[in-house]
């Protein structure tokens, strides 16, 4: 049976439409997979600075020398006390130039030690050991809306939306990022360092 020109054209058109529909269906099925974390809605809301935090949230440092002195300010001419014993464990609060601000659990006081006299260790701390808020570094949010993320990267999930002038306790820092405590979530998060400014009550 020989088809006429018009019938052949209609047949080709139907085949073309059928193939197009199949292609669109396959593409829609393949594109329906959600990226991990997609659709997650980050929380926002009021934030208040706690009166104290668990020392276990802060990085642990150890004294690397046989002994070292603790200064009241990050300055070698500042009054000092001590010494701390070699291997003694302390908590990192902040850093400035060649100095590290630490919390000394044994004495329950903070002070400054030269960075090269300390090193980081992985050590569990009792949740009962706490650090008063006046010894902590507070971060003040500078922009209207700021993302707090799961990790120190823009590729990680947003866990909280911070607002301008909200304050967070700083726990740690990494190149270009501050780790903070997010009270509404009761977990740690990271904020870019160029959109928050440090302030310390106990200077």
Residue 83 preceded by cis peptide, ω within 30: yes
What is the band of 81 on the pLDDT scale with cuts at 50, 70, 90? very high
Taking 3-state DSSP, the helix, strand and coil percentages for the chain, each rounded to the nearest 5, stand at: 20, 45, 40
What is the band of 18 on the pLDDT scale with cuts at 50, 70, 90? low
Average pLDDT across the chain, whole number: 85
Q: CA 145, CA 203: separation in Å to the nearest integer?
A: 29
What is the band of 189 on the pLDDT scale with cuts at 50, 70, 90? very high
Q: CA 120, CA 59: separation in Å to the nearest integer?
A: 7
> Which residue would you say has higher pLDDT here, 200 or 97?
97
**pLDDT of 45:** 74
Q: CA 120, CA 89: separation in Å to the nearest integer?
A: 9
Cα–Cα nearest to 176, from 190, 159, 155, 160 = 190
Q: Which residues contact 65 (CB under 8 A, 6 or more apart)?
A: 86, 117
Q: CA 32, CA 127: separation in Å to the nearest integer?
A: 44
Domains of the chain, with CATH numbers?
Answer: 43-52+134-200 (2.30.30.40), 54-130 (2.30.30.40)
Q: CA 136, CA 117: separation in Å to the nearest integer?
A: 21
Overall average pLDDT of the 155-181 stretch: 96
Q: What proportion of the chain, given as a percentage, has pLDDT over 70?
A: 78
pTM over 0.85: no
Overall average pLDDT of the 181-189 stretch: 95
Overall average pLDDT of the 166-175 stretch: 96
What pLDDT, in 10s, does the model give residues 107-161?
Answer: 999 999 999 999 999 977 776 899 999 999 999 999 999 999 999 999 999 999 9
**pLDDT of 200:** 81
Report whether pLDDT(36) > 80: no
Q: Can you tell me whether residue 193 is helix, strand or coil?
A: helix
Cα–Cα nearest to 61, from 25, 142, 115, 18 = 115
> Which residue would you say has higher pLDDT here, 202 or 172?
172
Cα dihedral across residues 128, 169, 87, 76: positive or negative: negative
């Amino acid at each position: 049976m020989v088809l006429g020109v018009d019938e052949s054209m209609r047949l080709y058109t139907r085949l073309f439409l059928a193939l197009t529909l199949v292609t669109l269906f396959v593409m829609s099925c393949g594109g329906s997979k959600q990226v991990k974390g997609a659709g997650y809605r980050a929380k926002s809301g009021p934030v208040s600075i706690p009166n104290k935090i668990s020392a276990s949230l802060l990085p642990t440092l150890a004294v690397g020398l046989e002994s070292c002195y603790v200064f009241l300010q990050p300055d070698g001419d500042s009054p000092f006390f001590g010494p701390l014993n070699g291997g003694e464990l302390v908590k990192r609060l902040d850093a400035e130039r060649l100095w590290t601000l630490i919390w000394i659990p044994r004495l329950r006081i903070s002070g400054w030690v030269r960075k090269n006299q300390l090193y980081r260790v992985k050590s569990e701390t009792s949740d009962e050991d706490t650090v008063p808020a006046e010894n902590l570094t507070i971060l003040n949010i500078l922009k209207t809306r700021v993302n707090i993320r799961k990790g120190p990267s823009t590729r990680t999930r947003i866990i909280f939306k911070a607002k301008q002038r909200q304050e967070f306790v700083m726990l740690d820092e990494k190149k270009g990022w501050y780790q903070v405590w997010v009270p509404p979530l009761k977990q740690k998060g990271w904020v870019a360092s160029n959109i928050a400014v440090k302030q310390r009550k106990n200077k």
